[in-house]
Amino acid sequence: MHENRTLIRGDNLEEMRKFPDACIDLIATDPPFNSKRDYFVPYRDEHGKQPDALVKAFTDTWAWGDAAEDTCKSLIVEEGGQIGATIQGLQQFLNETPMMAYLVMMAARIVEMHRLLKDTGSLYLHCDPSASHYLKIVLDAIFGISQFQNEIIWNYHRFSRNSGRRFARMNDIIFFYSKGNKNTFNFQYAERRKSSVEEKGWDTVVDKGVKKLLIYDMEKVQQAGIDFERYDKVVTTKKLDPAMGQVWSDIQFLNSQAKERTGYPTQKPVALYKRIVAASSNEGDLVLDPFCGCGTTLMAAEELGRQWIGIDLTYLATGAVKHQIEKFFPQLRDSVIVSGTPEDTDTALALARRDPAGFEEWCVTHVLKFKSNAKKVADGGIDGLYTFPIGKIKGRQAYGKMVAQVKGGGYTLSQIRDFRTAMQNAKADLGVFVVTRKPTRGMLDEVRRAGTYQIDAGGFTVSMPCLQIYQIQDYFTGILPKLPFGDRQLL
């Protein structure tokens, strides 16, 4: 079992299958919604105000294919029972559509989440109206209809212009299911608007000839120096705040100035997840978010003294969580365990051998923080791209272009020459060739022949090699390739 503060980079289905039964107190998670969009993360350089490059974070577009077909079969045949029957029924209606592919993907994972929860545990599943109606059927089948506790409407009041022939869509849905009937639950209260007398802290009344002092707030009574002897009766009175309902309108959408904002797309406010964590777990409990993104649930868990584990498919997300924890809990800098992502030269080289595409993604999005080239086939020899501001030309902001190619195995001089051609074809000013093995003298001559590039860095000129060969081993000694305007951080 993983330790507290573990971040796992990997597919949550595979990863959750490695967990033992009944080990988690609370799962609060926000999976992709089937929004049919790609989500990008803006990066900016350390001097720039505006995002200068977009890095693809994750894709929320689903298609029916072999993977969906296999998962669907295993849910019907191997899992069987209520969920098998439900999936069969949904398939008759939805056929082999993207929605069905999405639901099959979610169903397989919800089966695992249910297995991991303790009898006192709960699941909060964040979604939106695009698929919530189907997800509730899937949840009913896996948890049981009677375990449904709430459909929370998070009404976030985002400014929206009127568009289309309908009302503005300004809410998400969070389904709350408990595994058993003795689920941990700490009541939460909505804030009641206080009367001016309550704000004052005390009041006096005469009731049937009896002088009474009504105390709402003892501290304020003491501050006012009230003489208790003057009253026949002293009554301490407290009006209870009403129980929190299912419609949450008091938590705003993250605005562009919010301190916690990372720029990670779909990031949710910590306040929203703090309410969930406070309600359905106790101090020291273990909270899991298997679709953790930049770690909102994990931040809420940390703030409230819970233990946590996060899983995400991308290096970008695990990198963003680390960044957030280091920013808000600097004392925990060395306490976060990242698994499934190279932490030293040996694990990086092992990844390059085992999973060349994964190695490429890690180098491009995590090490270089470049935009990854989505066209995996016929990419023209370009794996990653970074556009950087180079000042104004004829009054308009101009950009330079840097491209990357990753070679996880051996490479030849002619491949470096091909990369130079690819740079020219892509009209790139700069190029970085990421490798795992030392270049030969002939290769370094080729680098010199590519020449240098001058960048105006706010009043002085910086000269950079047009082509660099970057050995990934350097990353673990803190050396990065020369990038325009230095190292780049998440927003």
Ligand X SMILES: C[S@@+](CC[C@H](N)C(=O)[O-])C[C@H]1O[C@@H](n2cnc3c(N)ncnc32)[C@H](O)[C@@H]1O
| Footprint on this chain of ligand X (rule: CB under 6 A) | 11-12, 30-32, 58, 264, 266-268, 291, 293-294, 296, 311-314, 317
Nearer to ligand X, 19 or 291 (CB): 291
Nearer to ligand X, 202 or 315 (CB): 315
Nearer to ligand X, 268 or 366 (CB): 268
State the Cα–Cα distance between residues 137 and 132, nearest whole angstrom. Answer: 9
How many Å is the maximal CA-CA distance in the chain?
Answer: 105
Nearest-CB residue for ligand X = 293
First to last CA, the chain: 33
Single-letter amino acid, residue 19: F
| Least Cβ distance, residue 31 to ligand X (angstroms) | 6
| Least Cβ distance, residue 32 to ligand X (angstroms) | 5
The token pair at 191 is 């804030």
Environment class of 360 (CB within 10 Å of its CB; exposed 0-12, middle 13-18, buried 19+): buried
β-bridge pairing 247-248 and 148-155:
parallel
State the Cα–Cα distance between residues 174 and 248, nearest whole angstrom. Answer: 10
Environment class of 304 (CB within 10 Å of its CB; exposed 0-12, middle 13-18, buried 19+): middle
C-alpha distances (whole Å) from 138 to each of 35, 75, 149 are 18, 11, 15
| Least Cβ distance, residue 44 to ligand X (angstroms) | 18
State the Cα–Cα distance between residues 141 and 383, nearest whole angstrom. Answer: 43
The gap from C-alpha 440 to its chain's centroid, in whole angstroms, comes to: 41
Nearer to ligand X, 312 or 446 (CB): 312
Q: Where are the beta strands (DSSP E) in 46-200?
A: 53-60, 117-127, 148-155, 171-178
Helix axes of 66-74 and 98-116: crossing angle, nearest 10 degrees: 50
| Least Cβ distance, residue 252 to ligand X (angstroms) | 14
| Least Cβ distance, residue 47 to ligand X (angstroms) | 26
| Least Cβ distance, residue 292 to ligand X (angstroms) | 6
| Least Cβ distance, residue 71 to ligand X (angstroms) | 11
Nearer to ligand X, 60 or 383 (CB): 60
- Which letter, b or e, does each residue of 200-231 get, where b requires 16 or more Cβ atoms within 10 Å of its Cβ? ebbeeeeeeeeebbbbbbeeebeeeebeeeeb
Nearer to ligand X, 124 or 264 (CB): 264
State the Cα–Cα distance between residues 76 and 55, nearest whole angstrom. Answer: 37
| Least Cβ distance, residue 199 to ligand X (angstroms) | 36
State the Cα–Cα distance between residues 474 and 361, nearest whole angstrom. Answer: 18
Single-letter amino acid, residue 267: Q
| Least Cβ distance, residue 22 to ligand X (angstroms) | 21
Nearer to ligand X, 300 or 443 (CB): 300
Nearer to ligand X, 253 or 453 (CB): 253
| Least Cβ distance, residue 311 to ligand X (angstroms) | 5
Coarse DSSP helix, strand, coil percentages of the chain, rounded to the nearest 5 percent: 35, 25, 40
Q: Is 362 helix (H, G, I), strand (E, B) or coil?
A: helix
Nearer to ligand X, 322 or 420 (CB): 322
Nearer to ligand X, 58 or 202 (CB): 58
